[in-house]
């Protein structure tokens, strides 16, 4: 499938944008394990315009990541336009507008999912960004502000009409945050709307190969976006592709195999930042691993509190010695 001339793959599996997660090392790692299309962390438009170092660093991309999207968010059209022009200079394949982040510090200030309460402003912002840059512009949003306002079908048409090239939809409202189950029925209705010609990407609760298959076959989406399920399990892309190709579930990785993968991921994180901050960044990923192992509590605590690579590697050696062949 091509979007604005950019090849993104047939039935692409997409790494969703996640703050403090989808940095270059993690994107590189997910690409290695089968992701077809990568999204950056979302980047504050205001911070980019002010040249805040942390935000500018988020614009780092590598040629091996392509196709890659840089996502921006903000509440003011002028700063969003200026930020899009800054992003364009680093030449990602797409610029994405975040109309879906539900966290309070973003949405309550009128950015991200906050724009679901002001659709005319959302549409005008999208139109202004599209007109300001030469790169294709996409968007990501939610079903609506709350369950009484499921307005995604109208939003999709209006964003398409102002030049948005693809739309990713999370199957929850802003009020739901990440609670409950994602509702894919409205996503399916958008995809089946004869007026909609742009690709529709589905997002929400893709935690297994079976769910990914259902997203494509039952709801007809053009791509599936995977977020939280990649944390501690970046090989989920490979598992899904194996299932699509063979009809069989890939065997679970042993603890020994998982340790080899997380070690590589940790080293990429450390190289990107430094040892102390790299290890801190990886705690969230390590905390999501090795669930269900018996009598693991003490080792888990030591693993998450390890102050250095050397100390962490010692803990991994103990985990491997005790549980190496466990699944």
User: How many Å apart are CA 246 and CA 122, to the nearest integer?
Assistant: 42
Burial class (CB within 10 angstroms; exposed 0-12, middle 13-18, buried 19+) of 307: exposed
CA angle, residues 165, 171, 177, in degrees to nearest 5: 115
Residue 44: which of 109, 91, 89, 90 has the closest Cα? 109
Decide if 59 contacts 43 (C-beta within 8 A).
yes
Which of 38, 101, 156, 167 is catalytic? The answer is 101
Decide if 94 contacts 119 (C-beta within 8 A).
no
b/e for 278-304, b at 16 or more Cβ within 10 A? bbebbeebbeebbeeeeebeebbeebb
Decide if 265 contacts 286 (C-beta within 8 A).
no
Burial class (CB within 10 angstroms; exposed 0-12, middle 13-18, buried 19+) of 205: buried
Note if the bond before 172 is cis, omega within 30 degrees: no
Helices and strands in the chain, H and E counts:
14, 10
64's enclosing H/E stretch is none
Establish whether 101 is a catalytic residue. Answer: yes
* Catalytic machinery residues: 101
């Amino acid at each position: 499938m091509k979007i604005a001339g950019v090849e993104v793959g047939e039935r692409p599996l997409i790494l969703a944008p996640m703050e403090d997660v989808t940095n270059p090392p993690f994107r590189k790692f997910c690409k290695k394990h089968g992701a077809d299309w990568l999204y950056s962390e979302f980047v504050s438009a205001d911070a980019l315009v002010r040249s805040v170092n942390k935000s500018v660093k988020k614009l780092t991309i590598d040629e091996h990541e392509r196709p890659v999207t840089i996502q921006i968010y903000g509440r003011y059209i002028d700063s969003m336009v200026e930020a899009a022009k800054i992003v364009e200079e680093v030449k990602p394949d797409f610029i994405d507008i975040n109309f879906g982040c539900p966290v309070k510090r973003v949405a309550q200030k009128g950015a991200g999912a906050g724009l679901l309460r002001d659709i005319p402003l959302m549409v005008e912002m999208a139109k202004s960004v599209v007109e300001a840059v030469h790169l294709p512009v996409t968007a990501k949003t939610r079903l609506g502000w709350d369950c009484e306002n499921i307005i995604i079908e109208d939003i999709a048409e209006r964003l398409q009409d102002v030049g948005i090239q693809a739309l990713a939809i999370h199957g929850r409202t802003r009020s739901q945050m990440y609670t409950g189950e994602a509702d894919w029925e409205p996503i399916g209705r958008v995809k089946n709307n004869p007026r909609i010609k742009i690709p529709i990407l589905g997002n929400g609760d893709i935690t297994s190969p079976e769910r990914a298959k259902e997203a494509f076959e039952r709801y007809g989406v053009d791509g599936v976006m995977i977020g939280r399920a990649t944390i501690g399990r970046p090989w989920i892309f490979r598992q899904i592709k194996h299932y699509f190709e063979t009809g069989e579930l890939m065997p679970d990785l042993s603890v020994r195999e998982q340790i080899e993968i997380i070690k590589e991921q940790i080293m990429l994180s450390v190289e990107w930042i430094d040892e102390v901050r790299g290890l801190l960044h990886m705690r969230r990923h390590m905390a999501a691993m090795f669930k269900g192992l018996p009598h693991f509590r003490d080792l888990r605590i030591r693993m998450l509190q390890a102050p250095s690579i050397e100390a962490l590697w010692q803990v991994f050696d103990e985990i491997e010695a005790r549980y190496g062949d466990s699944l």
